[in-house]
Amino acid sequence: VKTDRFTSAYRFRIYPNTKQQRMLLVVLELCRRLYNYAVCQRKDTYKATGRTVHYEEQQNQLPQFKDQRPEYEQAHSQVLQDALRRVERAFTGFLEGRTRYPKYKKHGQCRSITFPQISNENIGSNSIILPKIGRVRMTKHRPIKGKPKTLTITLTKSGEWYTSITTELNPPNNNSNPRIIFNNPIGVDSGLVNYLYLSDGEHVDNPRFISNHAKRIIKAQKELSRKKRKVKRVVNVNGNSTTLKVPGSNWLKAKTILARRWRDYVNAKEDWQWKQANRLVNKHDFIGYENLPIRNMLKNHCLARAIQDAAWAGFWEKVESKAATAASTTTQKVPPQYTTQRCSKCGYKHKVALSERSFMCPNCGHFDDRDHNSSDVVLSDALQLYYKAFEKIVGMDVPEFTPAEIEPLPPNAEKPMMVASSIAETGNKFHTRVDEPGRGITRAEAHGFSNGRTSQPL
């Protein structure tokens, strides 16, 4: 779906002083209570009358709600409206069957507030002005592009404050003009041994961040489980006293330390992924990758931890976002079916065991590294899909598409080849058909030349 507006988000750490922190915590708590109030109102009204309360109604009642509760003067009115909008979103998700019935938020469970409208004047070079809170120190580690729209303040579980600012940009111009010639197209196979295997032979080892961090995380978790909770006597409305288990200060400290260990792990991984994504997008103008069925893969319990650690979905999101901003790189997702089982030269399909690291085609004798073969398959699939979509855009008849796994070519069949750049050289570029496996672009030519493999370290 093409939108005429283009948004991006920036996350910066902020350092509110003690007084500002106290004020922010009060606002978080007020928003939590308002959220619970609004959920309760919807629940009760529906039970009593069968009527659904909507956002507009709750927003109109907000002034009256605030009149009865003077403490709400401390919160910005738009922040409160946003809390109501979150209730609306939670109920919409439930009614559309995507999420469960909205729950009440317990103490401390409301961790972010949103200012739905901010302007450039709120953002300084190393500070930010929050309405009703004041000027807060901020490390602005990169410039903000576009017009600022919304601002969200978050308190992480490890006790740090962050702001995320969304901005609106005009879309890059070349979006409307799909490209047909690529100088450096690449297909990528992602796996647990090689995190990335590029069709030009370059590969990146799986860093397995979890193995570096597991020791510290497990230690912090053990510390936390040793800490006891305080037993507190409370008297309820009826005058009966009961005991409650509440977190003590040592328990809370251990919990924060555990959250910090997880944060370190996530930060290290994210940083590495952004660097890899940047490198891919800077180097290649076409990137084909597999749309891996992560959910199905997680059913394999032996590999679940490693698969979660690899977090390919998050990685490809980063590549997509880099490619969208750079606007010089096209990305194409391909369905993952049989990419490891198909021969990149002749399209013949046969079962390859997971442990087998090399690929040997029984049909044409093509021998290759397993991951390299599948990255080649991914590239040709991606280019075929891309050109097929391209033909649709320009309104051409799309010839019947025959997937390689259904009809492999005979081993000695002559394979018509087409160089990526020759598409433009033919008289009418729309006559180009990339409709058969083996036809279209071969790996060597798509890379411009073939000089074997180059394995480049990071």
Q: How far is the CB of 180 from Zn ion (least distance, A)?
A: 28
Of 125-133, 244-252, 262-270, 366-374, the segment contacting Zn ion by CB under 5 A is: 366-374
Q: Which two tokens stand for residue 336?
A: 């993952």
Among 154, 363, 421, 422, binds Zn ion (CB under 5 A): 363
Using CA atoms, how far apart are residues 148 and 120, in angstroms rounded to an integer?
6
Is position 12 an interface residue for Zn ion (rule: CB under 5 A)? no
Is position 260 an interface residue for Zn ion (rule: CB under 5 A)? no
Q: How far is CA 84 from CA 30, 32, 436, in A?
A: 12, 10, 54
Contacts of residue 426, defined as CB under 8 A and 6 or more positions apart, other chains included, come to 432
Q: How far is the CB of 412 from Zn ion (least distance, A)?
A: 11
Binding to Zn ion (CB under 5 A) within 189-208 occurs at none
Of 12-20, 189-197, 313-321, 348-356, the segment contacting Zn ion by CB under 5 A is: 348-356
Among 140, 269, 345, 443, binds Zn ion (CB under 5 A): 345
CB 406 within 8 A of CB 371: no
Is position 325 an interface residue for Zn ion (rule: CB under 5 A)? no
How many of the chain's residues bind Zn ion (CB under 5 A)?
8
Is position 359 an interface residue for Zn ion (rule: CB under 5 A)? no
Of 189-197, 301-309, 347-355, 419-427, the segment contacting Zn ion by CB under 5 A is: 347-355
Please report the DSSP string for 153-215 in residue order.
EEE-TTS-EEEEEEEEEPPPGGGGS-----SSEEEEE--SSEEEEETTS-EEE---HHHHHHH
Of 62-70, 105-113, 241-249, 358-366, the segment contacting Zn ion by CB under 5 A is: 358-366
Coil, helix or strand at residue 58:
helix
Helix (H) or strand (E) holding 286: strand 286-290
Q: How far is the CB of 160 from Zn ion (least distance, A)?
A: 54
Residue 229 φ/ψ, nearest 5 degrees: -95, 150
Is position 366 an interface residue for Zn ion (rule: CB under 5 A)? yes
What residues does 135 pair with on adjacent strands? 129
Is position 346 an interface residue for Zn ion (rule: CB under 5 A)? yes
Among 12, 182, 289, 348, binds Zn ion (CB under 5 A): 348
Among 343, 379, 383, 446, binds Zn ion (CB under 5 A): 343
Using CA atoms, how far apart are residues 437 and 415, in angstroms rounded to an integer?
9
Q: Tokens 């194409």 belong to which residue? A: 332
Is position 361 an interface residue for Zn ion (rule: CB under 5 A)? yes
Binding site for Zn ion (CB under 5 A): 343, 345-346, 348, 361, 363-364, 366
